[in-house]
Structure 1
C-alpha cells in the first residue's frame, strides 16, 4: 500500500513551487495521497517549522512520510536526509534541525541516510530548488515502499542536527518564556504551559509588562478588545484578543522573551 505524504514548506502559495513538488510526486507515486500541512511557515524560519512539525506528529497517519522543506542553506554543504523514527514515521528534508522535533516526538531517530542515489535525485540538480529535485522524489520513492537505504549512504542518527525545544523558566512568582509563534489571527503563542504558571504561584491573572492579563476558558469568554490568555490546542499559553490581534496589541513577535509575573 502506498504511504501518504504530509507536506510542509515555507514556499507560500503565490509561486509554482508547491505545485511543482506535487507534480514530481505524482509522476513517481501517482497513488500517493499528499496532505498539505502548511506552506505558510515564515520564510527561512527553520525553528518555527520544527515546532509545527513536532506538534503535528500525534495527529499524522502512522505510516506517513513527512516531507518538509524550510531550507535557507539550500545548495550548501548541509546534508539532504531521510530518517526513520522509532515509531516507523519516515521523514525527508534538510539536515538543519527542521526534522528534529518531529522525529523526537516519534520516538527518536532510529535510522538515517543521506539522499544521494542517482535513481532518486532529479538531474540536472538545481542549486536552489532541492524541494523539487531531492526531497519530493525521495518522499515519493519512500511512499512507494522503497527501502530507506536505497536512497543513499547511511548517516549516524546521533549526528543529525537538532534544535532545542523552547522551555519556560519557572521561579517563585514569575515565569520567563518565549514567543514561539504568531498565527494569522494575531494570537501570540508562548513556550509556557498553564502548569508552569501554577508552579510559579501565578493564579488566574498575571502581569505582562504594564497590563494585567486574565485567563479565559474560550475566545468568547474574553472581554472584547482586551488581551487575555487561553490554553491553546497544544496545551500552551496563548495571548489572545477577542475580536482583535494580541500581536498588534502587545507588539510581540516570534522569538521575543516574555516575563509573566
Structure 2
C-alpha cells in the first residue's frame, strides 16, 4: 500500500491528551505514506454544530479525493451509525450525527455506507468510547489507500443521513434575518448569512444595537463594532482590536437582522 493520499482530521479532543496522536498512529499502521493534515482539534466538547461549520468551510481547500475524518461524537458507543460518505470532492468518515450536513448541503452525497466490515477496523472489538482510533482512523487510511467504499460496509439510504436542525434564513427586499452559527477564537460572531446576500450599503441590528457594514476590521474605530464579510464568505460581527463575543455579550444562536439600504 504505497499510494499517497491526504487524510484530514478534525475533533474535539484537544491536544493535552494522546487521543489525536494515537489516531495518527492507527492511520500509520495501515499506511505510513499517507499525508495527515490537522484541521483542528479544538472544537468545543460535544459541539456538533461547530464541527459542522468548520468542516463545511474547510473542505474546499483540499484536493479532490481527500478523506475528511471528523470526530465530535457524544453518541459514541450508542446505536448511532458509523459512516463513510462519498461526495464530489472526496470522502467523509465519522459518526452519523449531522456533523457532515454542512458539507453535504453544498456538495450532496453520492453514496454512503455504514461501517460494518470490521476487517478494516483496528480491532474487531473496538472501544465503546474511542471509535476515532478503532474505526474511523483505520477506515480512512484504508479508503485513502485504495480500498473501495463498498468494501467498508453496507450501503445506506442517503435520505436517512442525520441532518442538524439549522434555522433557515428569512429574507425580504429590505432585510435578512439569521443567527450566529459560530464564534472563532478572536471572538468574531459569524452568522449564517452568506456574504453574497449583502451588496451596497447595509447594517446589522442585534440585541438592539445597530452595527454598520464595512469591508475590513479597521473600517471602524478601535474598540468599535463592525460587520463585514469574512474570509469564510459569511457575514460576521467583529470588534476592531477586541472580542465581539465578550464586548457585546452575544452567543451561539443569537438572532441577527441585516437591514439593506436599497436606495
- Please indicate, yes or no, whether the TM-score normalized by the shorter chain is above 0.5: yes
Question: Does residue 1:216 correspond to 2:218, yes or no?
Answer: no
Post-superposition shift, 1:77? 0.3
Question: Does residue 1:119 correspond to 2:123, yes or no?
Answer: no
Post-superposition shift, 1:121? 1.9
Match of residue 43 from structure 1: 45
CA distance in 1, matches of 2:195, 2:119: 50
Runs of 5+ consecutive residues of structure 1 not aligned to the other structure = none
Q: Identify if the C-alpha distance between structure 1 residues 164 and 61 changes in structure 2 by more than 3 Å, giving closer, same or farther.
A: farther
Deviation string, structure 1 residues 77-107 (Cα, Å, up to 9, x no partner): 010011111x15111000111122223433x
Match of residue 245 from structure 2: 247
CA distance in 1, matches of 2:219, 2:89: 41
Q: Identify if the C-alpha distance between structure 1 residues 210 and 101 changes in structure 2 by more than 3 Å, giving closer, same or farther.
A: closer
CA distance in 1, matches of 2:225, 2:77: 43
Aligned match of 2:5 in 3, 6, 12?
A: 3
Post-superposition shift, 1:37? 0.9
CA distance in 2, matches of 1:166, 1:3: 36
Match of residue 25 from structure 1: 27
Two-structure CA RMSD over aligned residues (Å): 1.9
CA distance in 1, matches of 2:46, 2:122: 23
Asked if 1 retains the 8 angstrom alpha-carbon contact of 2:206 and 2:255, the reply is no
CA distance in 2, matches of 1:67, 1:194: 28
* SS of corresponding position for 1:66: strand
Matches within 5 A, 1:142-161: 142-161=143-162
Asked if 1 retains the 8 angstrom alpha-carbon contact of 2:81 and 2:95, the reply is yes
* SS of corresponding position for 2:57: helix
* SS of corresponding position for 2:246: helix
Asked if 1 retains the 8 angstrom alpha-carbon contact of 2:205 and 2:256, the reply is no
Structure (1/2) with the larger strand percentage: 2
Asked if 2 retains the 8 angstrom alpha-carbon contact of 1:4 and 1:34, the reply is yes
CA distance in 2, matches of 1:193, 1:120: 40
Q: What is the aligned residue count?
A: 256
* SS of corresponding position for 2:138: helix
Match of residue 92 from structure 2: 91
Post-superposition shift, 1:196? 3.8
Runs of 5+ consecutive residues of structure 2 not aligned to the other structure = none
Q: Identify if the C-alpha distance between structure 1 residues 109 and 173 changes in structure 2 by more than 3 Å, giving closer, same or farther.
A: closer
Aligned match of 2:61 in 59, 62, 82?
A: 59
CA distance in 1, matches of 2:36, 2:89: 18
